[in-house]
């Protein structure tokens, strides 16, 4: 199949109350491992590359690999994650990405609206979908007191105005998640009440960033092999399930894949001291990623939706 645009898949997901997994990919192993999971579970999949992944692997390499991945029986979206650099976003749109995010969340409101509209205009010409972001996803240090936390979360009325003014296709919102692995002391709870309000006012597929669950067994495996990852955990599974009932239709997964990949590498290096073939050392990491991706797909309810 050719690569799919994100918009119709996400609208369908929001309507039927499941979420499409958006996995961050930056090399062949991760790409093949998440594809194996999506094909096995018959789930649509969004393969997303950050600007960091593009700097690491090169846009042409990533596009070539993802185009090959799209030769499969499931819908595959190629998405630019957290695009901030307008020339890079334009290059992605013209090079075959079927979806791009413009992340203007750190800009003043009016500037975010203006730049998002600009990206939407480019994207429409190429039938590319646009994810925009409102509200800031902050690190733990920014969320210490309650007032600061409220200010960092998405305001429902502002979200509605933003969606209308920009005409974006999906909207990333801040309801209590944060990027990275080690942000929460103990478990966190998403602001589901706020999400309900946003969902009533914004009739678009909503996107959740920073929603890694930091799976206990993967973390334990990593720590068993000497990783120093601290006590932090991620978002609760039941919060994710609840969020999907209220309009979240795309969930980004990056940290959980990184944890699985590095845990698998640590285990292989420790268990196979005589092996010098990188393919053998990377195989357990790939299997672990497939396992994590299957669990996410089941949690998001996107299996058998392809
Ligand atoms: Zn993100």
Gap from CA of 269 to ligand 1 centroid (Å)? 30
Q: Which residues of 132-153 are buried (b: 16+ CB within 10 A; e: fewer)?
A: bbbbebbeeeebeeeeeeeebb
Contacts of 78 (CB under 8 A, 6+ apart): 3, 47, 48, 49, 63, 66, 67, 70, 96, 97, 98, 99
Three-state SS sequence of 209-250: CCCCCCCHHHHHHHHHCCCCCCCCECECHHHHHHHHHCCEEE
One pLDDT digit (tens) per residue for the chain, 306 residues? 899 999 999 999 999 999 999 999 999 999 999 999 999 999 999 999 999 999 999 999 999 999 999 999 999 999 999 999 999 999 999 999 999 999 999 999 999 999 999 999 999 999 999 999 996 544 444 455 555 556 678 999 999 999 999 999 999 999 988 776 554 455 567 899 999 999 999 999 999 998 877 677 777 777 777 777 665 567 878 889 999 999 999 999 998 999 899 999 999 999 999 999 999 999 999 999 999 999 999 999 999 999
144 touches 184 (CB < 8 A)? no
For the chain, the straight-line distance linking the first and the last C-alpha, in angstroms and rounded, comes to 12
Q: Give CA angle at 20 (16, 24), nearest 5°.
A: 170
pTM over 0.75: yes
- CA–centroid distance, 177 to ligand 1, in Å, is 10
Q: How far is the CA of 16 from the centre of ligand 1 (A)?
A: 24
What protein residues have CB closer than 5 angstroms to ion ligand 1?
209
Domain boundaries, the chain: 6-300
Q: Can you read off the two tokens belonging to residue 200?
A: 């009533």
CATH topology of domain 6-300: TIM Barrel (3.20.20)
Q: Which residues are catalytic?
A: 81
CA of 273 to the centre of ligand 1 (A): 36
Q: Calculate how far, in angstroms, residue 173's C-alpha sits from the geometric centre of ligand 1.
A: 10
Cβ distance 10 to 205 under 8 Å? yes
* 212 φ, ψ (degrees, to nearest 5): -60, 145
């Amino acid at each position: 199949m050719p690569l799919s645009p994100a918009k119709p898949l996400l609208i369908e997901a929001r309507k039927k109350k499941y979420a499409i997994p958006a996995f961050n990919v930056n090399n062949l192993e991760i790409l093949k491992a998440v594809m194996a999971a999506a094909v096995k579970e018959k789930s649509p999949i969004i393969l997303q590359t950050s600007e960091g992944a593009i700097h690491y692997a090169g846009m042409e390499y990533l596009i070539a690999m993802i185009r090959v991945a799209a030769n499969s029986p499931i819908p595959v979206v190629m998405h630019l994650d957290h695009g901030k650099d307008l020339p890079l976003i334009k290059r992605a749109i013209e090079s075959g990405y079927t979806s791009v995010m413009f992340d203007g969340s750190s800009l003043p409101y009016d500037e975010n609206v203006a730049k998002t509209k600009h990206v939407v205009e480019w994207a429409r010409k190429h039938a590319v979908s646009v994810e925009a972001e409102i509200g800031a996803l902050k690190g733990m240090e920014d969320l210490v007191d309650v007032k600061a936390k409220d200010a960092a979360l998405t305001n429902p009325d502002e979200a509605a105005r933003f969606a209308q003014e920009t005409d974006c296709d999906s909207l990333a919102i801040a309801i209590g998640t944060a990027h990275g692995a080690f942000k929460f002391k103990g478990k966190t709870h998403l602001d589901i009440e706020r999400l309900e309000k946003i969902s009533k006012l914004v009739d678009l597929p909503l996107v959740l960033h920073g929603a890694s669950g930091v799976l206990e067994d993967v973390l334990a495996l990593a720590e068993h092999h000497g990783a120093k990852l601290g006590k932090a955990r991620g978002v609760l599974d039941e919060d994710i399930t609840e969020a999907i009932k209220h309009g979240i239709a795309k969930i980004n997964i990056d940290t959980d894949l990184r944890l699985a990949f590095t845990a698998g590498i640590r285990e292989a290096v420790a268990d196979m001291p005589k092996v010098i073939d990188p393919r053998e050392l990377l195989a357990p990491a790939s299997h672990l990623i497939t396992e994590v991706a299957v669990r996410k797909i089941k949690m998001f309810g996107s299996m058998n939706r392809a």
